[in-house]
Amino acid sequence: MDDPFRIVGKAVDARNTYGLPLAVLAELTHRCPLQCGYCSNPIQLEQASREMTTEQWCSAMTQMADLGVLQIHFSGGEPTVRKDLEQLVQHASDVGLYSNLITSGVMMTRDRMFRLADAGLSHVQVSIQGATGQMSDLIGGFKNALPKKHDTATWTLEAGLALTVNAVVHRQNLPELPQIIEKAVEWGAARLEVANVQYYGWALKNRQALMPTFAQLEDTTNIVNEARARLKGILEIDYVIPDYYAARPKQCMGGWGRQFFNISPSGHVLPCHAAETITELRFDSLKERTLEWIWHNSDAMNCFRGTDWMPEPCKSCAFKEIDFGGCRCQAYALAKDASATDPACAKSPLHEAIFRTAMAESIASEDDFIYRNFANARADS
Ligand code: FES
């Protein structure tokens, strides 16, 4: 019988290092009408023919509920591309999962929003790429997206669902941040996420065109703080600063394999949405294994659980059970070693160099980026 708590090549006791998974990001598809260059999807996008079927997703949701999962976030790509979305939301509701739809909002209809609400959807998160039509179309690579997003936000509220607006911000759209905040208020959102780009997948490829300047970062913090005070009780604003300018690493995913997992369109179970960028790891699929087996036994899930895997300076760091060593995907992207100290941490030997890279790239005049789409993915392979 397999040792249920092993990692590649050595046995470890991971029993006390993680609990039950609370939330799942279900990437139903990598198909998407938008082509944002900051997407964290892997460069090699999954073809539609490899996506899980309705039955496979429903089985996965039943297993999630049995395992103790409370929330499912339907994402992608663009989840409304899937014609069976209503069935999937209905099944989530039937097995007792709270469901959130993460959407670009450009493919929604009023009827469909009401069908999704009837099926048990609780919350909708609409992305915004800019406050003006020109910025929105440029960043998303999609014409006239903004009015469609506004309609989706309106229908969300009409259907009685909670609304969050998500703005991924970067050097090119940060000048529009004050207007983005006003749009979120105008659209009736209860919450706005202002999230600086995290550089994995397509975003890493386009880093030069996206990295904010240090002055922009300071302005952003001031704008967010002023808006938080002014809009207290009207709009809650979550704010994520760029890792490259941080002194401490983020507690990514609440710790690797501790309380969260992601399912890729083809059914691979990942500790985070960007984990497939760590090309040396092999991920188990729901097409071959049960979710419970994967959660407890998958090598990829176990390899960075707990603190035993940590090198110095993480191993003797007082924060090691607070930030769990930061982000493994970022360590791999920047140090080429997923077990290295996250270079976002000031204790990493690479921290200084990363900060200098960010400063240099942010003032470069490189504004062109590669759109995230299947043709560019093929060209990269
Ligand atoms: Fe993968 Fe941070 S995004 S561990």
Cβ atoms of residues 169 and 181 within 8 Å: no
Q: Does residue 13 fall inside a structural domain?
A: no
- Residue 347 has a CB neighbour count (10 Å cut-off) of 16
Structure tokens at 171: 């050097």
How many Å apart are CA 197 and CA 245, to the nearest integer?
A: 12
Choose one of 264, 328, 332 to mutate for the ligand 1 pocket test, by most ligand atoms within 8 angstroms of C-beta.
328
Q: What pLDDT score does 30 carry?
A: 96
| Shortest-distance atom of ligand 1 to CA 198 | 3
Displacement of CA 212 from its chain's centroid (Å): 19
What does the pLDDT average to over 338-358? Answer: 94
Displacement of CA 46 from its chain's centroid (Å): 17
Q: Does residue 310 fall inside a structural domain?
A: yes
Q: What pLDDT score does 17 carry?
A: 65
Structure tokens at 225: 């703080």
Contacts of 133 (CB under 8 A, 6+ apart): 144, 146, 147
CA of 168 to the centre of ligand 1 (A): 17
pLDDT for residue 13 is more than 50: no
Q: Are strands 23-27 and 6-7 parallel, antiparallel or unpaired?
A: unpaired
pLDDT for residue 234 is more than 50: yes
- Domain enclosing residue 343, as ranges: 19-380
Q: Does residue 5 fall inside a structural domain?
A: no
- Residues of the chain with pLDDT > 70: what percent? 96
How many Å apart are CA 62 and CA 57, to the nearest integer?
A: 9
pLDDT for residue 289 is more than 80: yes
Confidence band, pLDDT 50/70/90 cuts, at residue 379: confident
Q: Does residue 130 fall inside a structural domain?
A: yes
The answer, as to whether pTM is greater than 0.90, is yes
Cβ atoms of residues 353 and 196 within 8 Å: no
pLDDT for residue 153 is more than 90: yes
Bridge partners, residue 24, by sequence: 72, 261
Q: Does residue 12 fall inside a structural domain?
A: no
Structure tokens at 315: 């191993």
Cβ atoms of residues 212 and 256 within 8 Å: no
What DSSP line would sit under 365-378, residue for residue? --------SHHHHH
Name the average pLDDT for the chain. Answer: 92
CA of 244 to the centre of ligand 1 (A): 14
Span 118-133, pLDDT tens digits: 999 999 999 999 999 9
Q: How many helices (H) and strands (E) does the chain have?
A: 15, 11
pLDDT for residue 1 is more than 50: no
What does the pLDDT average to over 368-381? Answer: 89
- Residues of the chain with pLDDT > 90: what percent? 85
What does the pLDDT average to over 242-265? Answer: 91
Q: Where are the beta strands (DSSP E) in 46-150?
A: 71-75, 98-103, 123-128
- Integer CA distances (angstroms), 28 to 74, 165, 227, in order: 7, 20, 34
What does the pLDDT average to over 347-367? Answer: 90
Cβ < 6 A, ligand 1 pocket: 252-253, 256, 272, 274-275, 327-329
The yes/no answer to whether this complex scores an ipTM above 0.85 is: yes
Q: Does residue 7 fall inside a structural domain?
A: no
Annotated binding site for [4Fe-4S] cluster: 32, 36, 39
- Residue 215 identity (one-letter amino acid): A
Q: Where are the beta strands (DSSP E) in the chain?
A: 6-7, 10-11, 23-27, 71-75, 98-103, 123-128, 162-169, 191-196, 236-240, 260-263, 269-270
How many Å apart are CA 146 and CA 169, to the nearest integer?
A: 16
Q: Does residue 10 fall inside a structural domain?
A: no
Total number of domains constituting the chain: 1
Confidence band, pLDDT 50/70/90 cuts, at residue 8: very low
What does the pLDDT average to over 289-297? Answer: 96
Q: Report the nearest-CA residue for atom 1 of ligand 1.
A: 329
- Residue 23 has a CB neighbour count (10 Å cut-off) of 19
CATH number of the structural domain spanning residue 299: 3.20.20.70
Q: Does residue 326 fall inside a structural domain?
A: yes
| Shortest-distance atom of ligand 1 to CA 275 | 1
| Shortest-distance atom of ligand 1 to CA 40 | 3
CA Rg value for the chain:
20
Q: What pLDDT score does 5 carry?
A: 29
Q: What pLDDT score does 298 carry?
A: 96
Count the alpha carbons within 13 Å of 297 in the hemisphere toward its beta carbon.
12
Helix (H, G, I), strand (E, B) or coil at 343: coil
Question: 215 phi and psi, to 5 degrees?
Answer: -65, -40
- Residue 160 has a CB neighbour count (10 Å cut-off) of 9
